[in-house]
Amino acid sequence: MSALETWHSIIDAEAAFHDEHGHPPKKLKLPVRLAYQLAKLPRDQFELSELIAKEGIDVIEEKGLLGVSVEIMRDGSTQFSFE
């Protein structure tokens, strides 16, 4: 999955969570490999990828994504999930 496909999948899954539960998710569990994938987004279009390049993937946990807190899963997970 490309970086842009990963980003779109996260956005679509957040919208689906909201539709199903009637409220936005509180947390995104993001596999470490997908966190690195987001670093590949075009830096001139996505501030996030620039921040990852400068500070590393832990910045995703510090800043969150789409207004949701993020836990980077370093256990070999391959799928993200919302809670």
Q: Please state the φ and ψ torsions of residue 39, each to the nearest 5 degrees.
A: -65, -20
Residue type, 37: Q
Question: What's the pLDDT at 1?
Answer: 85
Question: What's the pLDDT at 30?
Answer: 98
Mean pLDDT of 59-83: 95
Question: What's the pLDDT at 45?
Answer: 82
Question: What's the pLDDT at 27?
Answer: 98
Instruction: Give the global pTM.
Output: 0.90
- Residue environment code for 59-80, b if the CB has 16+ CB neighbours within 10 A, otherwise e: bbeeeebeebebebbeeeeeeb
2-55: per-residue pLDDT in tens?
999 999 999 999 999 999 999 999 999 999 999 999 999 998 888 888 899 899
Residues 6+ apart with CB under 8 A from 69: 26, 27, 28, 61
